[in-house]
Amino acid sequence: MSDNNQGTGWIWKVFWILLIITTVEVVLGIIQPEALEVQVLGTRLLNSIFIILTLVKAFYIVSAFMHLGHERKNLKWMVYLPPLILIPYLVFILLTEGVALAG
Amino acid sequence: MSDTTIEMPQDEKVWGGGSRPLGSPYGKLMMWFFLISDALTFSGFLAAYGMIRFKESLTWPVAEDVFTHFPFLDGNHPLLYVALMTFILIMSSVTMVLAVHAGEHMNKKSVTLWMLLTIVGGLIFVGSQAWEWYHFIIGDKGAIELHDRTIVHVVNADGEAISFSQLVHGMEHGHASNHSDVFSKEEVFNAFKADNTLALQVPGKAGETLSRSEAISELATADVVQGANMQRNEYGHQQFANFFFFITGFHGFHVFSGVVFNFIVFYNIMLGTYERRGHYKMVEKVGLYWHFVDLVWVFVFTFFYLV
């Protein structure tokens, strides 16, 4: 691009990674492949693929764009740990509750 | 705080001040604390959405049948528009990183340009969301609400949903989407009764269909629904529209606030405030917020449109 400072290459690398993952998600979402409709761990395999791809994207945004990957270890853990513990906990409880309400 | 910290020996004077265990300026740390709490807020919303969706899993609307519009194109285009919105937001995240990068090199001209492009990207995103809301609120095909508040769609012999416009004006003259045409209860019900091939279908994966006689008797106490509001919506369960408005609205408000912050920083860049201050740390701080907005959208995109 016009900004030719050395060291913007990694930014465009991350951009392409995010773009490719999003494209894969959209293509899978449009064609909804029959092979991925099988039930794995209580949901469609396709849904698990979407969620994993989303987490990969989230990791790249936080680690590269928000520069957390280059911060000191203390700061890194301070940011990563509370959400990584609390969010899966909350999601587990509420989804279990949702299934119970449906039944 | 100056950037030239004195390296303390590990075992002494740790409590005497001057050591910076997180190695990060005050403002940036406070932004991180705010973002963690905001991340937990959004998780609360999305988890609540997940709970209701699991509860109503059999009749929950299928996103591909709801968000099907693309500007200037007719027909059915699921996911395309929202993919474009995602691309715009990722792109404006990239221009923001480039602005931060240029700031580190004290390149005022370059920061100004990238910051301006970030603001433009943010405005396009907010505008796209307004367009999405407009079509969601005005409605697509219309639906019938039974006395127990179940939403059902009119389907033809092939099981494809047809619009009120096609139902009332016939398949050749009607439009696949009602746009802003409003249809009365009598028009819709009489057209339904007149054609024996039509049936009523509950939305969702299960797609249960009412028998013809059952459907006619239900019509006596039914009503028509076009579009969406906080009370009811033509797509299905009431909570579907409520969560859509609340979560995408809350995210959209974040984007809007982000554009305002970015604009204030952009204005200060133009005035040369950061040039005089000797660093562009403020660009980095609003940059963190802006990337966070992109991060939240990645999850909203997955849980509202893909899964």
| CB-nearest partner of A65 from B91, B93, B299 | B93
Domain boundaries, chain B: 28-34+77-139+239-306, 143-225
B147 near B221, Cβ under 8 Å? yes
Question: Is the pLDDT score of B9 beyond 90?
Answer: no
Query: Among B61, B304, B65, which residue's Cα sits nearest to residue B204?
Result: B61
Q: What are phi and psi of B154, to 5 degrees?
A: -85, 125
B-contacting residues of A 8-27, CB under 8 Å? 8, 11-12, 14-15, 18-19, 22-23, 25-26
Q: Does A72 touch chain B (CB under 8 A)?
A: yes
pLDDT given at position A32: 84
CA B125 to chain centroid? 10
| CB-nearest partner of B302 from A7, A15, A54 | A54
Q: What pLDDT digit, counting tens, does each position of B103-146 carry?
A: 999 999 999 999 999 999 999 999 999 999 999 999 888 999 99
Beta bridge partners of A94: none
Q: What pLDDT digit, counting tens, does each position of A81-93 carry?
A: 999 999 999 999 9
- Mind telling me how many Å the CA of A35 is from chain B's nearest CA? 16
> Which residues does chain A have within 8 Å of residue B36's beta carbon, measured at their own beta carbons?
79, 82-83
B283 near B115, Cβ under 8 Å? yes
Q: Which of B88, B89, B97 to substitute to test the interface with A, most A CBs within 10 Å?
A: B97
Q: What pLDDT digit, counting tens, does each position of B164-177 carry?
A: 988 988 888 888 88
pLDDT given at position A100: 94
Q: Does A37 touch chain B (CB under 8 A)?
A: no
> Which residues does chain A have within 8 Å of residue B301's beta carbon, measured at their own beta carbons?
54
pLDDT given at position B58: 83
Query: Which three-class secondary structure state does DSSP give residue B40?
Result: helix
CB–CB contact A11 B110 (8 Å)? no
Q: What is the pTM of this model?
A: 0.89
pLDDT given at position A2: 40
Q: How many Cβ atoms from other residues are within 10 Å of residue B250's Cβ?
A: 14
Q: Does B86 touch chain A (CB under 8 A)?
A: yes
What value of ipTM does the predicted structure carry? 0.90
Mean of the pLDDT values across residues B77-100?
Answer: 93
pLDDT given at position B12: 55
> Which residues does chain A have within 8 Å of residue B100's beta carbon, measured at their own beta carbons?
67
More confident residue, B2 or B111: B111
CATH code assigned to B28-34+77-139+239-306: 1.20.120.80
B245 near B230, Cβ under 8 Å? yes
3-state helix, strand, coil in chain A (%, to 5): 80, 5, 15
Query: What mean pLDDT value characterizes chain B?
Result: 89
